Amino acid sequence: MFKKVVITTTLAGTLLLAPNVSEAALGDRTLYNGMSNSDVTELQNVLDDKGYFDYHTATGYFGNITEEGVRDFQRSAGIGVDGVVGPKTVSALKGAAVSKSSSSSNTYSGTLRYGDRGSSVTSLQSQLKSKGYYSYSVDGIYGSITQQAVRNFQSANGLSVDGIAGSNTFAALNGSSVSSSSSSSQVKSASTSNSSVVSIAKQYMGVPYVWAGTSPSGFDCSGFLQYVYNKAGTSIPRTVASIWNATDKVSSPSVGDLVFFETYKSGPSHAGIYIGNGQFIHSSSSYGVTISSMDNSYWAPRYLGAKRA
């Protein structure tokens, strides 16, 4: 059981940064999923500085996105990966040696992934930009936008779609042949089998959002998904959380897959249907059934992952 300690505003800033706080004292200040306070804000800012909370806003709430950033940091730092910020994690966060700002074993091995930084990422972003897959500033930070650009490039070039820039991805960027025929056929097969879901979904463009709505007269988020999938011959549960639990995780979405987001509460609270090219169709509380980009400033930081029904 984790120990929850109330910390005053004066002490909040010392949680991760103050060099004169003893290791034992830091170990008493455990942070974990579900907490909400200024110490979590400090944690999120430090994770952001080290490249593990890119394109996310420090909210002071320790949700799934923060936990994943902690897990990624722990994995890179070589400490126990549990998503909980205890004394070992705090100690590692205070140490410059485990920052991913300039060095990473992945970078040295010719592989770049989410959280990496430096000139190699800058070069990757420039290559993606020159080929039309990246339209943002070249900043040397491998965040969610760069990751999605890599996924889009991989999908368009018949590669295994995982958002990680490895040897095959760099070979394709440089115009060389790649050996991914099997993974390419899997992606195409998934796209073909789910294309009817997208076709059905697009028939209801413009249908207004109605809370608890489950019909073409008005849909809420999950009501739209359930209706469309049922018409396509696949039964899925009624709520976003239950759909998340009942479907199979995929590393990145293919056409017709479900994409999930964390919005007003911790965990999956909104979902849509991936239609390709970094876009998804969903029932928005503001616009009704509409198509949105997964790269935009609202959805990109809230993306949780993709699943297949």
Q: Which residues are catalytic?
A: 221, 270, 282
- State the maximum Cα–Cα separation within the chain, in Å, rounded to a whole number: 63
CB-based contact 58:28 (threshold 8 Å) = no
User: 12 is written with which tokens?
Assistant: 């909040």
Q: Which of 115, 95, 120, 144 shows the shortest CA–CA distance to 51?
A: 115
* Cα 138 from Cα 128, distance rounded (Å): 10
User: 62 is written with which tokens?
Assistant: 């320790």
